[in-house]
Every structure is written in C-alpha cells, then in structure tokens.
Amino acid sequence: MKITFPYMGYYAPVFTNLFRKLGNEVVAPPRPSKRTLDLGTKHAPEFACLPLKILLGTYIEALEMGADTIVSTGGVGPCRAGYYTRLQEKILRSLGYDFRMFTIEPIKGHLMDIVRTIRSFVNVPVTKLYDALTTTWLKLAYIDQFERVCHHRRPVEINRGSSTRLLEEGVAAIDKAQNCKEIREVGRAYVDMLGKVEIDETKNPLKVGIIGEIYVVLEPAVNFEVIENLNKMGVYAHRSIFLTDWTRENAFLDALRIQPEKQIRAQARPYLNQPVGGHGENSVGETVRYAKSGYDGVIQLAPFTCIPEIVAKSILPKVSRDLGIPVLTLTLDEQTGLEGVMTRLEAFVDLLMRRRLRAGEASA
C-alpha cells in the first residue's frame, strides 16, 4: 500500500512522517505547481472550486508516481468539501486509475467511525499508534507556533529574510525530531530564536487580518504567498486559521460537544445568523473581530465559485461600512496571476496607509 494525501503547506512532511510511522509506504505529494493546477483544471468540472482542482491534480501526480491509496477528509455539508472525495474518486476512476480511497469523515460524536477508517491504514500496534499521533500533533502545533511568531517578526525585521530562513530551518528540524522530548526541545529553541530576530522597534506596521476558505488560506502555493508578500511590504498579517486549532475545534472538541467557535459565531450573528458551511460564518465573524480589535484592514481569500465565501462576500461590504474597516476580496482561480494579485495588494496597502495618515492628522 502506497499512501498519498492532500498537500498542505509546511504540514506536508509531518503527514508523510505520520503515515510512515504507521507502517505504510508513502508517496509524498508534490508541492502544487502549474502542472498540478493544469491537470486538475483539465479533469475537474469547470465550476469546481480551486481546492478541488488542486487536490485532483495532486492526486493524479501522486498516482503517476506510484501511489495506490489516497487518504483525505470528508464532511457532512453543507459545503462541497464533504463530497470532494467521491467526486475525485469518480473522476479518477473514469480516467482509468486504479487505487483505494479512504475518507476520514468527521461525523459528530461518532469517534469510532473515524477510528475504524484510520485502522485500515494502521499497520502497527496501538501503543505505537498513540505515539505516532501525539508526535504528529506536537509537530503541527510547533509549526503553527513558528509561523505565528514569524508573521509577527517578518514585517519589521532588520535583516530581510532572516525570519523566513529560521522558519524553514525550524520546520526541517522538527521534521527530523523523533520523539516528543526532541520535538519539544527543537520547538522551544526555534520559537525562542524566531522571537529574537532583530526587528526595528520604532515601526508600527499596518495590521491586516487574513480570512477565507481554509485551503487557500493555509496553502501558500495557491494563495500567492499572500502573507509573506504582505510582510515584505512591511505589513503585519494575522492568519485567522491554523491547522492545530482547526482540527481541534472540528474533529475532537466537536465530538465532546465543546464549541470554542461560539464567540466567532456570536460576532457574526448580526450579519449572518446561520452556519453556511466552510468558513463562511467565520469570515464574517472574524471581520467583525478584526474591526473591533483595531486592525487596519481585512483580506478575504475566496476560491472562485466557493459557496460559503460568496455568501460572506455578499455580506462583508455591509460589515465594512458599519464598522469602518476596508475589506479586499481576492477571488482565486486557475486564471489568477501573481502580477494581478500583487497590484491589488499594493493598492490595498496604499489605501490603508492613507487612511491611517488621515486618522493620525485628524487626532493630532
């Protein structure tokens, strides 16, 4: 059995490691490239959302590289993600590929179902399984932590590129670490080092919140490295989604009926009083939160035809008007180009800058 799975930013090596630890051969999914997108676009329906196209392309590439098993997550709606794997399976089979597909369905309260699915690709004793899961969890948590710190330092670093370099080193080191103890040591060391990256204390960078659909928010290869690019313009970008809190909130705590997302829901309620799947409700709620905590602007990353983000996008102008926070929506599809994105980002940053200056003059 040669397993492959969706590629997702810095997390990919961690999952490769996990499946290896569980006693499987792994075909590490390649980082999404132009070819990935072309393959996906060619075989996916025209109005499928970008994440589906990228993942389909990734699977084709991995199958070509010899993978025979695909592991992915499902869902119960109302968004399309819940039906992704069935569609992908259908398309891949009609293309003549032979493979097995496992879908981990995050069904509320049915932890046993998840366990059963997972068991089918676990070829090690339970003690080892526990170990594999905890180390994976820790690794993910530290990678998230690195990124958080890096996002803070990068906009104001004195030596350009120093935080990015440390971040990448850190991810590589974490990947090599074998057990919890090592991970903690490496993790702490890098969090520390990242925290000490030399910065220009006098700068007060613009603050922007990044909201939108989870895949395009998390995957720099498809969002044109929007955070890094903003950082390079000297703007602090706060990413609203991280995998470690996402997984916890949805798969684990949901099963225990704890809802840490309640607050976001409450913020969204005056504007959108209904979960609409994906991150639609979060996008609205988080915009309200960013506005209230003094952010200069919000950037929404929405795949073209993404249903929940279209709902959010329709509502955001009102939030923006009511709370006085500019919102830029970047709609991403296979035709989006780096140049266009950069132009829009620069214009948006300009606008925020002017707003801030005006506000400063007014209060002076």
Which residues of the shown chain bind other proteins in the complex (CB under 8 A)? 44-49, 52, 74, 76-80, 82-83, 86-87, 89-91, 94, 271-278, 280, 304-308, 310-311, 313-315, 317-318, 331
281 binds ligand SF4 (CB under 6 A): no
Tell me if 337 sits within 8 A of 321, measured CB to CB: no
213 binds ligand SF4 (CB under 6 A): yes
80 binds ligand SF4 (CB under 6 A): yes
Phi-psi region of 24 (alpha: psi -120 to 50; beta: other; left: phi over 0): beta
CA 168 to chain centre: 17
Residue 81 binds which of other proteins, ligand SF4, none (CB < 5-8 A, kind-dependent): ligand SF4
286 binds ligand SF4 (CB under 6 A): no
Tell me if 108 sits within 8 A of 255, measured CB to CB: yes
> Least distance from C-beta 157 to ligand SF4, angstroms?
33
The footprint of ligand SF4 on this chain (CB under 6 A) covers a number of residues equal to 12
Query: What is the DSSP annotation of 332-364?
Result: E-TT--HHHHHHHHHHHHHHHHHHHHHHHHHH-
> Least distance from C-beta 1 to other proteins, angstroms?
20
Distance between CA atoms of 340 and 322, rounded to whole angstroms?
29
308 binds ligand SF4 (CB under 6 A): yes
Distance between CA atoms of 80 and 37, rounded to whole angstroms?
19
All residues at 6 or more sequence positions from 208 whose CB lies less than 8 Å from its CB, including other chains = 230, 235, 236, 237, 238, 295, 296, 297, 298, 299, 352
Q: Which is nearer to other proteins, 192 or 322 (CB)?
A: 322
Stretch that binds ligand SF4, among 10-18, 78-86, 237-245, 323-331 (CB under 6 A): 78-86
Q: Which is nearer to ligand SF4, 149 or 316 (CB)?
A: 316
Residue 77 binds which of other proteins, ligand SF4, none (CB < 5-8 A, kind-dependent): other proteins
303 binds ligand SF4 (CB under 6 A): yes
> Least distance from C-beta 111 to other proteins, angstroms?
19
Task: Identify the residue among 9, 106, 278, 285 touching ligand SF4 (CB under 6 A).
Answer: 278
Tell me if 325 sits within 8 A of 297, measured CB to CB: yes
Distance between CA atoms of 176 and 165, rounded to whole angstroms?
17
The distance in angstroms from the start CA to the end CA of the chain is 67
Residue 167 binds which of other proteins, ligand SF4, none (CB < 5-8 A, kind-dependent): none
